């Protein structure tokens, strides 16, 4: 009987191995589609309204931006937004700009500190600023 125990154990182990074929389930029907992008779609903003916000929120006090004739140096030069967006690799220019307004700490350009306040802007105002800054 003692000799039979190892033989039975080996039989059970080998029986669990199967015929060497691996089978995995395959879906027969796929319902729905996968998104083509993981980035949220930004609403189209009004650049003129964005220019007004840039002025009233005092953005030029900290940022250089030629279209607004501002020369602030506390924050990054907004004339270089495209360069910053490429370095940050956080989506296209509009997505990067919107994210930078919503969450200024998401990407900090070298040489600057994370000091931009939360202005409490809604999505429409952010879209307007993005339209102005990226036109």
Enumerate residue ranges in the chain where pLDDT < 50: 34-38
Q: Residue 1 falls within a domain, yes or no? A: no
Cβ–Cβ < 8 Å for 94, 85: no
Expressed as residue numbers, the domain containing 130 is 47-134
**Would 12 be classed as within a structural domain?**
no
62-76, pLDDT tens digit by residue? 999 999 999 999 999
- Specify if 93 maps to a domain: yes
pLDDT at 26: 65
Whether 75 and 69 have beta carbons less than 8 Å apart is answered as no
The answer to the question of residue 105 being in a domain is yes
The secondary element (H helix, E strand) that includes residue 64 is strand 64-65
CATH of the domain at 55: 1.10.760.10
* Domains identified in the chain, total number: 1
């Amino acid at each position: 009987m003692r000799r039979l125990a190892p033989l039975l154990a080996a039989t059970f182990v080998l029986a669990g191995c199967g015929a060497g074929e691996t089978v995995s389930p395959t879906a027969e029907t796929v319902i729905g589609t996968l998104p083509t992008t993981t980035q949220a779609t930004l609403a189209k903003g009004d650049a003129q309204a964005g220019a007004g916000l840039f002025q009233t929120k005092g953005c030029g006090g900290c940022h250089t931006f030629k279209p607004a004739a501002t020369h602030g140096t506390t924050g990054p030069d907004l004339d270089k937004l495209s360069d910053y967006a490429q370095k940050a690799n956080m989506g296209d220019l509009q997505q990067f700009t919107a994210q930078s307004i919503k969450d200024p700490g998401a990407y900090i350009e070298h040489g600057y500190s994370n000091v931009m306040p939360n202005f409490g802007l809604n999505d429409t105002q952010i879209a307007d600023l993005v339209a102005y800054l990226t036109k």
